[in-house]
Amino acid sequence: MVNRRTFVLGGLGAVITTPRRDADPFTLGVASGEPAPDSVVLWTRLATDPIAADGHGGMARADVPVEWQVSATASFARVTASGTAVARYDEAHSVHVVAGGLAPGREYYYRFRSRGRLSPVGRTRTAPATDAAVRDLVLLFATCANFEAGYFTAYRRMADERPDLILHLGDYIYEGGPKPGHVRLHLGPEILTLADYRRRYGQYKVDPDLQAAHAAAPWVVVSDDHDVEDDYAGGHRLDDIPPLTAAQWTTRRTAAYQAYYEHLPLRPMSKPAGTSMQLYRRFGWGRLATFHMLDTRQYRDPQACGGHWKVCADAALPGRTMTGSAQEKWLFDGLAQHRATWDVIGQQVFFAGQLDSHGRGNMDAWDGYRAARDRLQRGWVERGVRNPVVLSGDIHTAWANNLKLDYADPGSATIGAELICTSITSRGNGTAATAVPTADVNPHLKFYSDRRGYTRAHVTPGRITADFRGVDAVSVRNSPIRTLGSFAILDGRPGLQRL
């Protein structure tokens, strides 16, 4: 093993560091993501003091080399790939290694070494080859992990399942200040600066349950509003709370994207440029599934009628967009390719129509962008997409919905299915309620749960089996998990079958 001092001096020449000899730099764990047939992203961030107020994790103003290794076994008896990356001070000592030259459809283990210390070992896997016939895929998806609302037990249970893949659909952090009376409290007031965001990620990422979920499987992530600010829409703020000048808002958005990139296992293509970051992207799982990951936050028009639940004719205006025209075109191009049995659209907000008995709809969800939803649905019908499935989050409760060509007409064709995962913690313990809200006026909404947890999808060529998983409570640690409802989606038959 390379001596720490020699390694630092030998590896980076003039860079002088004065590390505390015994401080563990791997307090934030490890992660992997973005599986491709030949590569995966490996992530860590060095921090000896994860909640340091300056956001630099107790690290000195210097770049630090980090060695990485990938192996087919957890013992690392034979190393498949290895190298040295540089954890840059300017990027809060985060590391994004694209580990290439890997075999398709294989399980791997990875670890880092820096300053003579070894990181925890993470498990990951590559995607199957593009043309591979894949027997099955176990996928978990999750969203909305407000640290204050409870313990991250659902993340721990996700790790216990050792899935092939985890999708995170936004609200990985929450931006607010501490709210007395909650299960645990955010450090510091509402976050606004890059130092604030980095420190907030530091507080979240020391959580052992979250670290376990990252170490268990590769993640593919998209951000949502709370990763920046509640209910923002592109460059628009829904309200002026807290009051910010235009320049301060730009600074905040820039900081939030930068910190999001720094703390998640994203590919370099997602590295932010100013106030934007490239998050919509596509990846495949052989001939079994194509995942189209959407960004419904950065390019959307402002919420119609001032947002929230409203009766709002403007929500149906044909010019309104949720994705922006470039992303919409990109999505249609992808849907026209018919690369795999299942076309899975991973995105943030409630997709199905859900106007209540007063005609009110959620203006932050697709009901506030009805023409855009209509274009998208007709787009996949016109292109003959055999099995469209939408995965969503945001709403802090679990739902299973049939997607309809016309939500005002219960007799109209079912043209797909939507699975909505509940939150990891947001909304707290919840209740055992399972009566579907607004089902009387929305018969296409088939399932509801007010427990916290995630959704498991077992994907095979013939069917997707979806299990809605919930923990009994998030106000106490180590709650057990149970399946609260299960549905099947059959190949070639749009819509849900209750199991």
**Residue ranges that bind Fe ion, judged by CB under 5 A:** 144, 171, 426
- 433-438, long-range: CB < 8 A, 24+ apart: 434/484, 434/485, 436/399, 438/354, 438/355, 438/356, 438/357
Q: Which is nearer to Fe ion, 144 or 293 (CB)?
A: 144
Cβ-in-10-Å burial (0-12, 13-18, 19+) of 357 comes to exposed
232-265 burial, b for 16+ CB within 10 Å, e for fewer?
bbbeebbeeeeeeeeeebebbbbbbbbbbbbbbb
What gap in Å lies between CA 488 and CA 419, rounded to an integer? 11
Which of 29, 325, 281, 69 has the alpha carbon at shortest distance from 167? Answer: 281
Spatial separation of the C-alpha atoms in residues 383 and 122, rounded to whole Å: 40
Distance (Å) of CA 76 to CA 71, 109, 141, 454: 5, 8, 29, 32
Closest CA to 218 of 106, 118, 112: 106
Q: Which is nearer to Fe ion, 115 or 452 (CB)?
A: 452
Cβ-based nearer residue to Fe ion, 331 or 349: 349
CB of 468 to Fe ion, least distance (A): 17
We find the least distance from the C-beta atom of residue 171 to Fe ion, in angstroms, to be 4
Residue (of 123, 127, 28, 29) closest to 71 by Cα position: 123
Nearer to Fe ion, 31 or 144 (CB): 144
| Min separation Cβ 141 and Fe ion, Å | 14
Nearest approach, Cβ of residue 122 and Fe ion (Å): 26
- If we measure between CA atoms, which residue out of 289, 279, 363, 366 comes closest to residue 327? 279
Helices (H) and strands (E) in the chain, counts: 7, 24
Read off the amino acid at residue 45. R
Both tokens of 410, joined, read: 């219960």
| For Fe ion, the closer CB: 94 or 425 | 425
Nearer to Fe ion, 66 or 166 (CB): 166
Nearer to Fe ion, 39 or 223 (CB): 223
Nearer of residues 40 and 421 to Fe ion, judged by Cβ: 421
427/469 with CB nearer Fe ion: 427
What is the smallest separation between the CB atom of 85 and Fe ion, expressed in angstroms?
Answer: 32
DSSP-derived pairing of the beta strands 137-142 and 493-498: unpaired
What CA–CA distance (Å, rounded) separates 103 from 124? Answer: 12
CB of 351 to Fe ion, least distance (A): 16
**Least distance (Å) between residue 429 CB and Fe ion:** 16
The CB-of-94 to Fe ion minimum distance in angstroms stands at 24
In whole angstroms, the minimum distance from the beta carbon of 452 to Fe ion comes to 12
**Residue 62 CB neighbours (<10 A):** 17
Structure tokens at 469: 């998983």
Between 209 and 227, name the residue whose CB sits nearer to Fe ion: 227
Q: How far is the CB of 257 from Fe ion (least distance, A)?
A: 18
